[in-house]
Amino acid sequence: MIPDSEKPTNPPASAEQTPKPVSAIPTLAQAATERKAVTRSAALERIRKTHPRSSGIQDTAFRVLILFTAISVFAIVAFIVDQLISKSHPTLHAFGIRFFYNDEWDPVNGDFGARPFIFGTLVSSFLALLLAVPLSIGVAVYVTEMCPTRLRPVVSFLVELLAAIPSVIYGLWAVFVLAPLLRDYIQPALAKTLDWTGLFTGPPLGIGMLAAGIILAIMVVPIISSITREVLTAVPQNQREAVLALGATRWEMIRMGVLRNARIGIVGGIILGLGRALGETMAVTMVIGNSNYISKSLFAPGNTMASVIANEFSEATGDLHLAALVEIGLALFLVTLIVNALARLLVWSITGPTGRVRA
Amino acid sequence: MPDSPSVATVKISVFRRLTNSCATLFAIAAAVLVILPLMAIFLYLLIKGVQSLNWAFLTQLPKPPGEVGGGMANAIVGSGIILAMASLVGIPVGIGCGIYLAEYGRNAFGDVVRFTSDVLNGVPSIVIGIAVYSLIVVRQKHFSAFAGSAALAIMMVPTVARATEEMLLMVPNNIREAALGLGIPKWRTTLSISLRTASRAWQEKRPRCCSPPWVISTGAGVLISRRQHCRCKSIPTPCRPTMTGTNKLGPGR
Does pLDDT of A131 surpass 80?
yes
The pLDDT > 70 percentage for chain B reads: 75
Nearest CA in chain B to A313: B223
Mean pLDDT of B236-247: 29
pLDDT of residue A4: 47
**Where along chain B do its domains lie?**
1-51, 73-170+207-253
pLDDT of residue A356: 45
Residues of B in contact with A143 (CB under 8 A): 31
* Secondary structure of chain A in HEC code, one letter for each residue: CCCHHHCCCCCCHHHHCCCCCCCCCCCHHHHHHHHHHCCHHHHHHHHHHHCCCCHHHHHHHHHHHHHHHHHHHHHHHHHHHHHHHHHCHHHHHHHHHHHHCCCCEECCCCEECCHHHHHHHHHHHHHHHHHHHHHHHHHHHHHHHHCCCCCHHHHHHHHHHHHHCCHHHHHHHHHHHHHHHHHHHHHHHHHHHCHHHCCCCCCCCCCCHHHHHHHHHHHHHHHHHHHHHHHHHHCCHHHHHHHHHCCCCHHHHHHHHHHHHHHHHHHHHHHHHHHHHHHCCHHHHHHCECCCCCCCCCCCCECCHHHHHHHHHHHCCCHHHHHHHHHHHHHHHHHHHHHHHHHHHHHHHHHCCCCCCCC
Residues of B in contact with A354 (CB under 8 A): 114, 165, 169
Does pLDDT of A221 surpass 90?
yes
Residues of B in contact with A279 (CB under 8 A): 122-127
Tell me the pLDDT band of B6, cut-offs 50, 70 and 90.
low
- CB of A165 within 8 Å of a chain B CB? The answer is yes
- CB of A244 within 8 Å of a chain B CB? The answer is yes
pLDDT of residue A143: 92
Separation of CA B154 from chain center: 13
Q: Say whether A146 and B240 touch across the interface (CB within 8 A).
A: no
What rounded mean pLDDT belongs to chain A?
A: 82
Separation of CA B18 from chain center: 42
pLDDT of residue A197: 79
Which residues of A, range 292-311, sit inside 8 Å of B by Cβ?
Answer: 306, 309-310
**Where along chain A do its domains lie?**
4-16+25-50, 55-87, 92-351
Q: How does pLDDT run across A273-284, given as a tens digit for each residue?
A: 998 899 888 889
Q: How does pLDDT run across A100-119, given as a tens digit for each residue?
A: 888 888 888 888 888 899 99
pLDDT of residue B244: 27
Which ipTM was obtained for this model? 0.73
Does pLDDT of A128 surpass 90?
yes
Three-state secondary structure call for residue B37: helix
Residues of B in contact with A83 (CB under 8 A): 130-132, 134-135
The pLDDT > 90 percentage for chain A reads: 28
The pLDDT > 70 percentage for chain A reads: 83
The count of other CB atoms within 10 Å of the CB of residue A328 is 31
pLDDT of residue A247: 87
* Secondary structure of B100-125 in HEC code, one letter for each residue: HHHHHCCCHHHHHHHHHHHHHHCCCH
pLDDT top residue among A49 and A186: A186
Does pLDDT of B203 surpass 90?
no
User: Residue A137 and residue A285: Cα distance in Å, rounded?
Assistant: 27
Tell me the pLDDT band of A34, cut-offs 50, 70 and 90.
low
Tell me the pLDDT band of A82, cut-offs 50, 70 and 90.
very high
Separation of CA B174 from chain center: 30
Q: Which CATH architecture has domain A92-351?
A: Orthogonal Bundle (1.10)
- CB of A76 within 8 Å of a chain B CB? The answer is yes
Q: Say whether A252 and B16 touch across the interface (CB within 8 A).
A: yes
- CB of A2 within 8 Å of a chain B CB? The answer is no
